[in-house]
Amino acid sequence: MYGDVYEDVKMREFGFNRPLRRGAASAVAAALGVCVSLGLAGCSGSGGAGSAPEAAKASPKASPSPEPAWDTSPKSLAAVGDSITRAFDACSVLSDCPESSWATGTDPEVRSLAVRLLGKEAAAKRSWNFANSGARMADLPAQMEQAAAESPDLVTVLVGANDVCRASVDAMTPVAEFRADFAEALRTLRAERPKAQVYVASVPDLKRLWSQGRGSAMAKKVWSLGICPTMLGEPDAVDSRSTQRRDSAYDRVVAYNEALAEVCAKDERCRYDDGAVFDYRFGTGQLSRWDFFHPGKDGQARLAEIAFRRVTAE
């Protein structure tokens, strides 16, 4: 078809002054057709000796396959966070029980994330728990520095309940500070381990814990000792002041989770759980029988399941 298109082309368009003969025009058109169909930048009307090298230069080279941003089979794991990750009150009253931690424990009743990913023997050798009971988000950068020193492939984060569970609503950590401290923690990790993966669990729904435990006389007695006053203080009170206090604590948890999601989304090697822990309907069977607040062994197992699904998702 290119012969028909270029039949009336004047020779001066190719450096001549007379019209092309029919046969010559067809030949030129055919050559141009090859150029157009192949997209060769080096083609010219005269077809000089430089055409082939120029075409070779224009041919794109196959680029190497990009390295996947997320490895679903990390070979080592470090955990940072608060008493939940230390499995506080999961085995005995008022004490940590790291062997039952959802993140790094070796307790067969829990089957921690480390055990599910690495196997029991490897989990005991290649997982580390740097969480501290009572920790708040402001403590996370220092924990991340400890974790980075072990060069883990994956770091788990679960923190924020203690930022809400303060003596009063006014004492709760401001959202802007919470966000800034989390961002600093990630920068601390990236400075030493730029390719380490991070799994971030959402802050649990503390209001649901209140609604689940307030029917238990034992739970209310324990809560009266000062466990999470902003949510669990005066558990039977339903006056406007108490309701507003609990609503404020609930709203702060929601805001913290939004901050976690926002900061994590800016890091290609960070995965937020999309609110899975917050949405999980923890019942009294998943809570510690000593404080009805921290996860018991069954609750720790549920946290491990949620984390494993997110970490291994393609």
Assessment of whether the complete model's pTM goes beyond 0.75: yes
Same domain, 169 and 275: yes
Same domain, 95 and 231: yes
Same domain, 186 and 88: yes
Indicate the pLDDT class of residue 69, thresholds 50, 70 and 90.
confident
pLDDT tens, 127-185?
999 999 999 999 999 999 999 999 999 999 999 999 999 999 999 999 999 999 999 99
> Which ranges constitute the DSSP H helices of the chain?
2-5, 22-38, 51-58, 113-118, 120-125, 140-148, 161-164, 175-192, 206-213, 217-223, 229-232, 240-265, 276-279, 297-311
Q: Tell which residue, 134, 94, 133, has the closest CA to residue 291.
A: 94
Residue 70 lies in a domain: no
3-state SS assignment for residue 168:
coil
The sign one gets for the Cα dihedral 141, 147, 149, 154 is: negative
Residue 45 lies in a domain: yes
Residue 64 lies in a domain: no
Q: Are strands 270-272 and 197-200 parallel, antiparallel or unpaired?
A: parallel
Please tell me the distance from the alpha carbon of residue 218 to that of residue 224, in angstroms, as a whole number: 10
Average pLDDT, the chain: 85
| Single-letter residue type at 34 | V
Same domain, 136 and 279: yes
Q: How many domains, in total, are found in the chain? A: 2
Range of the domain at 26: 2-58
CATH number of the domain residue 89 falls in = 3.40.50.1110
Indicate the pLDDT class of residue 66, thresholds 50, 70 and 90.
low
C-alpha R_g of the chain: 32
Which one has a higher pLDDT value, 83 or 53? 83
Close Cβ partners of 15 (under 8 Å, ≥ 6 residues apart): 45, 46
Q: Tell which residue, 197, 154, 161, has the closest CA to residue 82.
A: 161
Residue 118 lies in a domain: yes
pLDDT tens, 208-247?
999 988 988 999 999 999 999 999 999 999 999 999 999 9
Please tell me the distance from the alpha carbon of residue 302 to that of residue 292, in angstroms, as a whole number: 16
| Single-letter residue type at 177 | E
Please tell me the distance from the alpha carbon of residue 51 to that of residue 264, in angstroms, as a whole number: 51
End-of-domain residue from the set 10, 30, 58: 58
